[in-house]
């Protein structure tokens, strides 16, 4: 079902059954890549797959608005367009949502179910909630090819994931190894490096940690001592994680540290376990950190793990995957949560008189971006992808164009320093790893043996060949872990087209023409797609990458559910009450404390809810921001202004229809030649607007396109042209044709941004067209080109018309300043021409100060001379205003100008001003002084402005 949600239009029904049916037919007929009208040109892209159980926010809406505008633009240019829809199974996010739901509704956790039973619960949740994303996309007007909608857990896609894993294993790019991974105790799963956020702490900080009722203290350096073995003395060490000291296996010092030169090769005794800890020397130790001696805990620190490998030190895990201290700590700590154990360890050190103090310490705290948990480095056997060779190919591949270009340096730097990628996750929801642990009959080998296969039968055959045994003598156990979600989504551009089979879609639409996504996914998704695509298909998955920036709230804050500033696009489209906004927060999965904060923030930002704005207004507002390189700070008030623009469009078309109803059919575009100056001006303005649209779309600067269209329709077409032709429309048939084509072409230009409203309005104009009727939808009309409007290009009229615009602007300014918004005072105009040589700044200043007027002098040289036209516009104020009141107002303005002038002059009189102040700043200040000297206001019975204009 596709619903019609255009701008609010006075007097019009929002629901239109026939239009529903019409737009549904459009989705079936025109959004398919096999459009019969298309030529042999292709444009393909895939939507960044949103989480299937989530809902779209304004960041997604920006993605949809940009991608749909590009897809519709190319479709109107005659390309065969394929815009692929899909949803990601989102392993961590979806499993977490379902686990919280089961705990809230049934008081049960995942472990209370078998794996099969739990997965049934997830699929049930997916089937209930999974279509909400597609509903939102349709409400946003996304012209996706819905016949190809794909889910990353669909059978076909799952087969592609398995195939990719097998091929990468066979080529040696995937391997299994024990390594130190980033572990989330809240998720009880490993996560990748780029899913770890660094929270910078300046000192002591209390933070909320999942699983703890009270906040936990961080940013504290604790110092304690290890007694030397066999002699008097001790070695003091400093750490921000004293709970890990139960896993210490050595103490490291710098070989050049003179404080410890007598301790090389000695040992300390662990006060709680009685283990001997060797004192090793290593140049990687920072002598300035703490006491200069560091504890070595290989199983819980990345740096210590590397150090332990160089010195052949053992590893001892003292914190379990659930964040509970293990039995290796002793009975006094076994079963205690890690941050509670921290306090017990400090207390025990004090009792043994080994505690040496603590102090605030700036630090970087690793946080799981998925759960908000503090990351615990743990030693685990996992599956890894070797990334160095793949990333080298990605960097050296010169055909990938990154837009904006300033991301290229970041891209190359990250890929050049990439580490291996841990792809196994300790979850139940996802693609179970197609690898099997092999157990052989009568084998006493305790080492793990693994094989992989597209099925258990294939894995059994591979094992039989590898170990030279009968297949019946083999027992296989599939790895219970699943693959990282980003591994499957990294296959998206080609797996959705049928890979590994060589389908027709794959031949036609791969590589994709472009990838458009948020800049925050450059490493999560884009880099992985490039590496996997290059390795598995031999080609880059796309030719261009277009990044847009983050959408923030009106205060510039990143949108977060806990801040209460996440906005559902449907709430902007259809409107929502403040009560319903509060209900949504309560219905969510936020912590109760976060819910209170979020609801308070909502009350402040949306005390009356969000007014109904419509799809077209939202899309136009999103595309009107400069999305490349600058964060988008979206406010609902801006969307409302776009809604008003939509209403203006409706009113303009209504006026046009009334004009056409009283006149004969307009002539064709090719036969419409403007005669009057006003007609020639508006035609030339439209030609310039089409040119701006062409340039903006080609460079993906959509904000320049929307700005040009908004300016043309609102300021040129409505404010000027319509007002000027109203008295003469009945006598001028050409004007009616010019108006019709101006409106019709503008609707086509706006169509990629406002598909609903432009389609509705264009259909109303359709009876007046001269076409053969073969194309009945605006979305497949040819996009306007400047080549069609060459006979409408009149640059001289367009340039000279600025004088008319300036006269109107000044007249309105005079009326506003004199508060004559309702009266129509008498106006007088006088004009004269000057031909002068090289107008100097001093001459300009004298002109400005002469006669108490405000001249606006512009000129263009012709040889050594300039032709100027000066026009005086006088407004008779004798009977229209209170003169005394106006004098008082103008006196206040003059005082403000005098104050500003005084401040500007004071800057120029400072000692060594010329030497210290840069040229640009000095010029700006001089211009400011000149402006304020010329800005004196005088009030008489006749208020006069002098306007000067260049004549070509």
**Worst-scoring range by mean pLDDT, 254-258, 284-288, 920-924?**
920-924
Cα separation, 465 vs 745, whole angstroms: 69
Same domain as 718, residue 639 = yes
Specify if 559 maps to a domain: yes
Specify if 30 maps to a domain: no
Query: Predicted confidence band at 772 (pLDDT cuts at 50, 70, 90)?
Result: low
Cα separation, 787 vs 690, whole angstroms: 10
Express each pLDDT in 662-681 by its tens digit: 767 888 899 989 888 899 99
Alpha helices (H) in 820-860, listed in sequence order: 841-849
pLDDT of residue 923: 77
pLDDT of residue 896: 83
Same domain as 652, residue 621 = no
Cα separation, 427 vs 433, whole angstroms: 11
pLDDT at 38 > cutoff 60: no
Specify if 105 maps to a domain: no
Specify if 668 maps to a domain: yes
Let me know: does 340 contact 349? Beta carbons within 8 Å.
Answer: no
Residue range 30-51: mean pLDDT, rounded:
77
Who has greater pLDDT, 716 or 555? 716
pLDDT of residue 828: 57
Residue range 417-435: mean pLDDT, rounded:
94
Query: Predicted confidence band at 691 (pLDDT cuts at 50, 70, 90)?
Result: very high
- Per-residue tokens: 559: 């949108």
Same domain as 661, residue 586 = no
Same domain as 697, residue 727 = yes
Express each pLDDT in 469-518 by its tens digit: 998 889 999 999 999 999 999 999 999 999 999 999 999 999 999 999 98
Who has greater pLDDT, 206 or 370? 206
pLDDT of residue 712: 96
The three-state secondary structure class of 560 is: coil
Express each pLDDT in 633-672 by its tens digit: 778 889 999 999 999 999 999 999 988 877 678 888 999 8
CATH number at residue 226: 3.90.740.10
Let me know: does 234 contact 228? Beta carbons within 8 Å.
Answer: yes
Specify if 599 maps to a domain: yes
Same domain as 294, residue 229 = yes
Q: Left (φ > 0), alpha (ψ -120 to 50) or beta: where does 230 sit?
A: left
Same domain as 649, residue 568 = no
pLDDT at 820 > cutoff 70: no
pLDDT at 830 > cutoff 60: no
**Worst-scoring range by mean pLDDT, 221-225, 490-494, 625-629?**
625-629
Contacts of 221 (CB under 8 A, 6+ apart): 238, 239, 240, 290, 358, 359, 360, 361
Let me know: does 750 contact 758? Beta carbons within 8 Å.
Answer: yes
pLDDT of residue 941: 43
Same domain as 891, residue 877 = no
Same domain as 722, residue 644 = yes
Which helix (H) or strand (E) element contains residue 221? strand 220-227
Helices H, strands E: what count in the chain? 31, 33
Residue range 818-834: mean pLDDT, rounded:
57
Show which of 313, 336, 361 is a domain's final residue: 361
Who has greater pLDDT, 397 or 683? 683
Show which of 478, 510, 536 is a domain's final residue: 478
Q: What is the mean pLDDT of the chain?
A: 84
Query: How big is the chain by its Cα radius of gyration, in Å?
Result: 36
Specify if 327 maps to a domain: yes
Same domain as 560, residue 460 = no
pLDDT of residue 934: 59
Residue range 326-355: mean pLDDT, rounded:
94
Specify if 179 maps to a domain: no
Distances (CA, A) of 624 to 178, 360, 550, 685: 50, 47, 14, 20
Same domain as 755, residue 647 = yes
The boundaries of the domain holding residue 279 are 220-361
pLDDT of residue 774: 54
Residue spans of beta strands (DSSP E) within 7-51? 42-46
Same domain as 940, residue 893 = yes
Query: Predicted confidence band at 549 (pLDDT cuts at 50, 70, 90)?
Result: confident
Number of domains in the chain: 6
Beta strand 80-84 with 42-46: parallel, antiparallel or unpaired?
Answer: parallel
Half-sphere exposure of 624 (CA within 13 A, CB side): 22
CA angle 94, 99, 101 (to 5 degrees): 95
pLDDT at 541 > cutoff 70: yes
pLDDT of residue 369: 84
Show which of 829, 858, 881 is a domain's final residue: 881
pLDDT at 36 > cutoff 70: no
The three-state secondary structure class of 572 is: helix
Residue range 116-137: mean pLDDT, rounded:
89
Specify if 155 maps to a domain: no
Let me know: does 431 contact 483? Beta carbons within 8 Å.
Answer: yes
Same domain as 896, residue 874 = no
pLDDT of residue 64: 95
């Amino acid at each position: 079902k596709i619903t019609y949600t255009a701008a609010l239009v006075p007097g019009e029904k929002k629901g239109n059954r026939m239009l529903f049916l019409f737009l549904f037919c459009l989705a079936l007929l025109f959004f398919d890549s096999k459009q019969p009208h298309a030529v042999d040109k292709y444009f393909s892209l895939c939507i960044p797959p949103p989480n299937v159980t989530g809902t779209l926010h304004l960041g997604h809406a920006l993605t949809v608005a940009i991608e749909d505008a590009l897809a519709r633009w190319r479709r109107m240019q005659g390309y065969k367009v394929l815009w692929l829809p899909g949803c990601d199974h989102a392993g961590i996010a979806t499993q977490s949502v379902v686990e919280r739901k089961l705990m809230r509704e049934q008081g049960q956790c995942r472990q209370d179910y078998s794996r099969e039973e739990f997965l049934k619960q997830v699929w049930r949740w997916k089937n209930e909630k999974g279509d909400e994303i597609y509903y939102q996309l349709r409400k946003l007007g996304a012209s996706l090819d819905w016949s190809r909608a794909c889910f990353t857990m669909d059978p076909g896609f799952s087969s592609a994931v398995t195939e990719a894993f097998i091929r990468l294993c066979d080529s040696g790019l995937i391997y299994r190894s024990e390594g130190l991974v980033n572990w989330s105790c809240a998720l009880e799963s490993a996560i990748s490096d780029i899913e770890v956020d660094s929270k910078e702490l300046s000192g002591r900080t209390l933070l909320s940690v999942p699983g703890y009722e009270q906040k936990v203290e961080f940013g504290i350096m604790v110092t304690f001592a290890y007694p030397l073995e066999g002699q008097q003395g001790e070695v003091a060490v400093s750490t921000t994680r004293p709970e890990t000291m139960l896993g210490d296996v050595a103490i490291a010092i710098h070989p050049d540290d003179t404080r410890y030169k007598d301790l090389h090769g000695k040992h300390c005794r662990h006060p709680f376990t009685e283990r001997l800890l060797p004192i090793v020397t290593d140049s990687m130790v920072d002598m300035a950190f703490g006491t200069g001696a560091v504890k070595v805990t290989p199983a819980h620190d990345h740096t210590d793990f590397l150090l332990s490998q160089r010195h052949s030190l053992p590893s001892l895990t003292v914190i379990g995957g659930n964040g509970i201290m293990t039995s290796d700590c002793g009975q006094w700590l076994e079963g205690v949560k890690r941050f509670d154990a921290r306090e017990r360890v400090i207390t025990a050190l004090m009792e043994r008189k080994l505690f040496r103090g603590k102090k605030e310490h700036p630090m970087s705290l690793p946080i799981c971006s998925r759960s908000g948990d503090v990351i615990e480095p743990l030693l685990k056997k996992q599956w890894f992808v070797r990334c160095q060779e793949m990333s080298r190919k990605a960097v050296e591949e010169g055909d990938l164009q990154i837009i904006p270009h300033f991301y290229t340096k970041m891209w190359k730097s990250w890929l050049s320093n990439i580490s291996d990628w841990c792809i196994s996750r300790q979850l139940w929801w996802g693609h179970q790893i197609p690898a099997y642990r092999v157990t052989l009959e009568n084998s006493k080998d305790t080492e793990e043996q693994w094989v992989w296969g597209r099925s258990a039968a294939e894995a059994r055959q591979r094992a039989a060949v590898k170990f030279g045994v009968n297949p019946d003598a083999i027992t296989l156990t599939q790895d219970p872990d699943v693959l990282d979600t980003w591994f499957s989504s990294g296959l998206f551009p080609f797996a959705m087209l049928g890979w590994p089979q060589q389908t027709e879609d794959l031949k036609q639409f791969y590589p994709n023409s472009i990838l458009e996504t948020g800049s925050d996914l450059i490493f999560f998704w884009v880099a992985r797609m490039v590496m996997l695509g290059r390795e598995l298909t031999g080609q880059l998955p796309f030719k261009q990458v277009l990044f847009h920036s983050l959408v923030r709230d009106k205060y510039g804050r990143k949108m977060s559910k806990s801040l209460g500033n996440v906005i559902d696009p449907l709430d902007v489209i259809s409107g929502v009450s403040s009560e319903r906004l509060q209900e949504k927060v309560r219905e969510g999965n936020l912590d109760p404390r976060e819910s209170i904060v979020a609801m308070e923030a909502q009350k402040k930002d949306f005390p009356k809810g969000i007014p109904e704005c419509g799809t077209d207004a939202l899309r136009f507002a999103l595309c009107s921001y400069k999305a490349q390189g600058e964060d988008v700070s979206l406010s609902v008030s801006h969307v409302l202004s776009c809604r008003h623009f939509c209403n203006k469009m409706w009113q303009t078309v209504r006026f046009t229809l009334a004009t056409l109803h009283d006149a004969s059919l307009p002539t064709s575009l090719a036969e419409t030649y403007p005669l009057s100056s006003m007609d020639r001006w508006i035609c030339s303005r439209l030609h310039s607007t089409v040119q701006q649209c062409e340039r903006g779309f080609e460079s993906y600067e959509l904000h320049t396109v929307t700005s040009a269209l908004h300016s043309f329709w609102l300021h040129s077409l409505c404010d000027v042209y319509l007002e000027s032709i109203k008295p003469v429309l009945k006598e001028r048939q050409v004007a009616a044709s010019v108006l019709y084509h101006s409106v019709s072409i503008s609707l086509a230009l706006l169509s990629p941004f406002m598909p609903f409203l432009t389609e509705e309005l264009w259909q109303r104009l359709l009876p007046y067209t001269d076409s053969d009727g073969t194309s009945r939808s605006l979305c497949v009309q040819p996009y306007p080109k400047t080549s069609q409007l060459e006979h409408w290009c009149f640059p001289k009229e367009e340039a000279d018309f600025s004088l008319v615009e300036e006269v109107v602007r000044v007249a309105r300014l005079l009326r506003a300043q004199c508060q004559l918004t309702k009266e129509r005072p008498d106006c007088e105009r006088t004009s004269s021409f000057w031909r002068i040589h090289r107008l100097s700044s001093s001459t300009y200043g004298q002109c400005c100060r002469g006669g108490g007027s405000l001249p606006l002098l512009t000129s263009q040289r012709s040889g050594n001379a300039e032709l100027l036209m000066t026009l005086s516009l006088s407004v008779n104020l004798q009977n229209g205003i209170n003169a005394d009141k106006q004098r008082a107002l103008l006196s206040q303005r003059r005082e403000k100008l005098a104050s500003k002038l005084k401040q500007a002059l004071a800057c120029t009189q400072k000692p060594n001003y010329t030497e210290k102040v840069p040229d640009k700043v000095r010029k700006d200040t001089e211009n400011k002084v000149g402006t304020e000297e010329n800005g004196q206001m005088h009030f008489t019975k006749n208020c006069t402005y002098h306007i000067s204009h260049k004549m070509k």
